[in-house]
Chains A and B, each alone.
Chain A
Amino acid sequence: MGLCQAQLITNTLTRPALPQAVTDHAAAAAAANTSPDLDERVKEAILHAHLLDSYQRRLPRVLDVVNNQAGSSRWTTASRKTLNYQLLLLLDQVEGCGLERQLVEDSSTTLMLPHGNRLMQMRHDAGYLLSSPDPLPPMATQGEVLAASEGEDMPDLYPLSPFSNCRARDTYPTEECYAVDSPHLYPHTIFMHHNQPRMPHTEDVFKGMSLLYAFSHAAAYAKLVQKHSLGDLDKPITVQVVHINGPQYHLGVFQLNTLNLAPSAADKPVRNLFWTQEWETLFDSCKFKAGRGVLEGYNPKVFSLLRGLHAQG
């Protein structure tokens, strides 16, 4: 229900893999990886962020349902963000094209859009928002977008509506804002962090969240910074999203083609596009064993995909 519902809300079609440009660059980077110390540096970054960081934060009390006791280890390092930051620094060093990009931490974006005859408000806080002075190139041409919009069907949730389980409110704040209010910077990548030991949601719901975050930032930029009217966009806006939960990484690329979210069947509908793939695990476990920090099951594919994403734009 997660991804299908998000698709219907944002008028999006999905693709089962990341776009060609990203995967090509990732494969090339992986193949030409002559410096093995790059992997070592990534592993070091993971160890540092998870085990060796001296900052500790107390977690709220959580009842462990399986063992019927309150969570025994309530201290944790602020690992996701530091790891992310370290990886971003590494990426900048390796790829070298992100020197003029700007990073904003804990940004908040609020957006109100009509969906058919209903008004919806999206309020999303991104962990990191990477903006660049050059826009990301569109991953699908105009022709491809129109062909896909006409050819493919949206998922059918009958009898549920796309806003199932969304509570309607009579009073709400009407302020809208985009995180980086500058016409010179385009959104590049959005990083979202979660740190839940047991995933309460399924993978599908996670993908839906990634899509919603990507959409809200792209649409907020189009509506608030570019001051675009609600309708089809001349120049599509492309945004990348990285959704992190513990060692799991979910990567996606979103192209905003239209702000008309509920087109009637009479008009030629134009849909937005979302390239995504299944979860990738960066590592299996990173714990202290016999007094030493040990990282097990490192997956180099994730870093190469991150390089592929970073190199765009």
Chain B
Amino acid sequence: MASVRGVALLGRRLGCLTLGASPAWPLHAPAPSLQPALLVRSFNIYHIDRPKPSDKKNFRYTVHYPEDGQYTVKPLKTNKLGGRDPETGRLIVGTLGGGAKRNYRWIDWFRTGPTDGTFLDERVINVQYDPNRSARIALVATGDNLRYLLASDNMKKGDLIRTSGYIPRIPVRPKEGDAYPVGALPQGTQVHCVEIVPGDGARMVKAAGTSGLVMRKIGKKVVVQLPSKRELALDPKCMATVGRLSNPTHGQQHVGSAQRRRWLGRRPASGLWQRKDGYRGRKIKPLPPRAGPRTKDVTYSQFIATKPRKKSSKHRGVLSKL
């Protein structure tokens, strides 16, 4: 056990060191990801590249896409991963696993339309359930092709939906289910399946019952508000589908039972809230008052200090006992 004086001396000596911007490791050290994990625990300074749930990989299942890569409407087989990284095989999410088998319906995220002012018309053949997402999917057809899209709220069999990539000078009058570039939509339009990079496919607002909002146009960008109330400034050519997504009561439904949670592919969690795991802060508060009356019990009296303590001279506190 070091003395107080010893600790103070060490602190003064450390204070003499200059901590520069460059790390104390030698410059030609191997990359952090290749260093052994033990080092992380000793020197928790550097970022070590480890797989995390925020990697945006799919830790639930891998889809067996057709070998020729052609889009198909047939349900595709999947292999469950149980929370493991598809490349490294490590367990990343401990609460994923089991559940009913799911066949993957390949959704077409690209609503590309003609840019010359004409429309691409599609007929909704069927609105059906998809086990892989909360919203419903719509089977639509045009010409020789069938494809799956995310179904909007009031979409039903037999509807005709349009897609256009043209941005006119006056904003279009939007109809639910149609897809337009964000720059062609008037302010206040509810949208879903929003592209972030033009031509890259829908990425935002895909959950059941959600919708984004076209807020305003600033300069050459269009501001779209996401369901989390965060705003995005998008290129006007990014496509978005008008309306809100189907199955709006999804968020209000209860899972119902622990068993149903297992059917949905979720393993038991340790509970939502762990009081003393250190992630919710240390709770420093005064101790409660001593309970019960002070009694002079024969058996207890020998442990009670009746004499007042001698006051020590300078050093008070715990360290004086040592």
Contacts and interface: CB of A to CB of B under 8 A. Distances in A.
Contact of A168 (B73, B123, B125, B144): B144
Interface in A124-175: 158-161, 163-166, 168
Nearest to A118: B144
Interface in B51-86: 73
B143 interface: yes
Contacts of B195: none
Contact of A165 (B122, B123, B146): B146
Contact of B144 (A1, A158, A166): A166
B144 A163 contact: yes
Contact of B122 (A159, A161, A163, A166): A159
Interface string B116-132: 00000111010000000
B141 interface: yes
B142 interface: yes
Contacts of A159: 121-123, 141-143, 160
Contacts of B121: 158-159
Central interface residue in B123, B143, B144, by most chain A CB within 10 Å: B144
Contacts of B146: 164-165
Contacts of B145: 164
A168 to B, nearest CB: 7
A204 to B, nearest CB: 13
B164 to A, nearest CB: 14
B144 A164 contact: yes
A68 to B, nearest CB: 10
B144 A165 contact: yes
B113 to A, nearest CB: 13
Nearest to B122: A159
A217 to B, nearest CB: 26
A208 to B, nearest CB: 15
Nearest to B119: A159
Nearest to A166: B144
Contacts of A163: 144
Contact of B142 (A1, A160, A166, A168): A160
A161 B143 contact: yes
A168 B121 CA distance: 21
A277 B121 CA distance: 33
Nearest to A168: B144
Contacts of B141: 159-160, 164-165
A168 B143 CA distance: 13
Contacts of A160: 123, 141-143
Nearest to B146: A165
Interface in B150-172: 160
Contacts of A1: 125
Nearest to A163: B144
Interface in A160-206: 160-161, 163-166, 168
A164 B144 CA distance: 4
Contacts of B160: 159
A166 B143 CA distance: 10
B77 to A, nearest CB: 15
A168 B145 CA distance: 11
A1 B141 CA distance: 12
Interface string B204-224: 000000000000000000000
A267 B19 CA distance: 91
Contacts of B144: 161, 163-166, 168
A166 B125 CA distance: 16
A159 B124 CA distance: 10
A165 B140 CA distance: 11
A158 B123 CA distance: 8
A195 B203 CA distance: 45
Contacts of A166: 144
B106 to A, nearest CB: 15
A198 B144 CA distance: 28
A97 B146 CA distance: 48
Given A164-B146, A166-B144, 9 more contacts: A159-B122, A159-B142, A160-B141, A160-B143, A161-B143, A161-B144, A165-B73, A165-B141, A165-B144
Interface of B: 73, 121-123, 125, 141-146, 160
Top 8 nearest A-B pairs (CB, nearest first) are A159-B121, A159-B142, A161-B143, A160-B141, A161-B144, A163-B144, A164-B141, A165-B146
28 contacts: A1-B125, A158-B121, A158-B123, A159-B121, A159-B122, A159-B123, A159-B141, A159-B142, A159-B143, A159-B160, A160-B123, A160-B141, A160-B142, A160-B143, A161-B143, A161-B144, A163-B144, A164-B141, A164-B143, A164-B144, A164-B145, A164-B146, A165-B73, A165-B141, A165-B144, A165-B146, A166-B144, A168-B144
